[in-house]
């Protein structure tokens, strides 16, 4: 089912849940059989779906028709992916310069890698923010977008690490015209990513350049010009709407 892919979740089935007396709204440690490095945690919701499986979907490139095996050993939810297939990243051929219109100077293609790589930022340990469960919340300001993300981040590919203070950015060696909002952690790769939070995605280009930001977290994705946005845009209202419709999340 497409919803499970979008929500990074798996339906455990009523029979398994009943057999092991698993509890709704509880967090369970998850172990990917054959790959202990992918151990994670997820929440079982009332529709029998287990969230927090970004690493599974991204490492194994799971599709709608793929089958997995799910079990419980008394401590961990055990998930066996189809075979040992892992995602293969194929680098697309990139021209040395972007196509140009007569009379305009050529422009360089977007730089590869995330902002930490492109800007050669310093490697320092960043303590990750401990997620809290904020419910019944409708955002009114950009600060509220942070809280909504904190409530449903396990349904995304990212988790919140910390705010991007000027002191921290100086330590990292990061420089840009406008300061970003936060540091996120990629669940699949554990990479630090530079993030910006906005109520509307159309606000992004008013004070940021796409190459300065890895991930845009927004409440409403209303931007029509996608070329000015980062490659990764997470629209929280759309994610919540999908989750509520299919019983994945309650918020």
Residue of 116, 210, 133 lying closest to 168 (CA atoms): 116
**pTM tops 0.95, yes or no:** no
**What is the pLDDT, as a whole number, of residue 90?**
34
What Å distances lie between residue 143 and 138, 146, 148, 191, CA to CA? Answer: 11, 5, 9, 24
Do residues 222 and 203 lie in contact, with contact meaning Cβ atoms separated by under 8 Å?
A: no
SS3 144: helix
Q: How many residues does the chain have?
A: 251
**What is the pLDDT, as a whole number, of residue 87?**
44
Residue range 30-41, pLDDT digits in tens: 999 888 888 888
Do residues 77 and 28 lie in contact, with contact meaning Cβ atoms separated by under 8 Å?
A: yes
Do residues 220 and 201 lie in contact, with contact meaning Cβ atoms separated by under 8 Å?
A: yes
The number of helices, as runs of H, and strands, as runs of E, in the chain is 7, 11
Beta bridge partners, 185, equal 159, 192
**How do the pLDDT tens digits run along the chain, 251 residues long?**
566 788 888 889 999 999 999 998 898 999 998 888 888 889 998 888 998 888 888 888 888 888 889 999 999 999 998 875 444 433 333 333 444 444 555 555 666 788 988 889 988 887 654 444 444 556 788 988 998 898 889 899 999 999 999 999 999 999 998 999 999 999 989 999 999 999 999 999 999 999 999 999 999 999 999 999 999 999 998 998 888 777 776 54
Q: How far apart are CA 57 and CA 38, in angstroms?
A: 11
Residue 34 CA, distance from chain mean position:
24
Residue 36 CA, distance from chain mean position:
21
**What is the pLDDT, as a whole number, of residue 241?**
84
Residue range 194-208, pLDDT digits in tens: 999 999 999 999 999
Q: How far apart are CA 206 and CA 232, in angstroms?
A: 18
Residue 73 CA, distance from chain mean position:
28
Domain residue spans in the chain? 2-80, 115-245
């Amino acid at each position: 089912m497409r919803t499970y892919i979008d929500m990074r979740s798996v339906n455990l089935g009523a029979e398994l849940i009943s057999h092991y007396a698993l509890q709704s709204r509880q967090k369970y440690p998850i172990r990917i059989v054959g790959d202990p490095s992918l151990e994670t945690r997820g929440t079982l919701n009332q529709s029998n779906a287990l969230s927090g499986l970004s690493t599974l979907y991204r490492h194994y490139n799971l599709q709608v028709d793929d089958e997995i095996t799910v079990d419980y050993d008394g401590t961990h939810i055990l998930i066996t992916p189809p075979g040992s297939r892992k995602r293969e990243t194929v680098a697309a051929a990139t021209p040395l310069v972007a196509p140009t219109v007569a009379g305009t100077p050529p422009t360089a293609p977007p730089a590869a890698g995330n902002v930490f790589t492109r800007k050669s930022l310093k490697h320092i340990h960043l303590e990750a923010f401990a997620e809290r469960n904020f419910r019944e919340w409708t955002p009114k300001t950009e600060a509220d977008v942070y809280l909504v993300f904190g409530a449903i981040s396990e349904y995304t590919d990212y988790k919140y690490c910390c705010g991007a203070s000027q002191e921290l950015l100086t330590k990292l060696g990061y420089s840009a015209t406008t300061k970003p909002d936060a540091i996120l952690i990629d669940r699949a790769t554990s990479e630090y990513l530079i993030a910006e939070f906005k109520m509307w995605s159309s606000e992004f280009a008013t004070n940021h350049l796409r190459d300065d930001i890895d991930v845009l977290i927004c409440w409403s994705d209303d931007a029509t010009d996608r070329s000015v946005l980062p490659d990764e845009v997470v629209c929280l209202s759309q994610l919540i709407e999908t989750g509520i419709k299919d019983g994945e999340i309650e918020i």
